[in-house]
Amino acid sequence: MGVYLSCGMGDIDYPFQVFYFIRPTAANLAAYEKWSGSELQNQTWLGDLVDEVFKVELVEGNTMIIPTGWIHAVVSFFLHSPVALLIARIAYAD
Tell me the per-residue pLDDT of 35-91, one tens digit each, with 9 for 90 and over. Answer: 988 888 888 999 999 999 999 988 877 888 888 899 988 876 555 555 566 666 776
DSSP code at position 57: E
pLDDT of residue 23: 95
For the chain, the structural domain boundaries read 19-93
Q: What CA–CA distance (Å, rounded) separates 27 from 86?
A: 33
So what's the pLDDT on residue 83?
A: 59
- What is the reported pTM? 0.66
Q: How many CB atoms lie within 10 A of CB 67?
A: 13
Q: Give the end-to-end CA distance of the chain in Å, rounded to a whole number.
A: 34
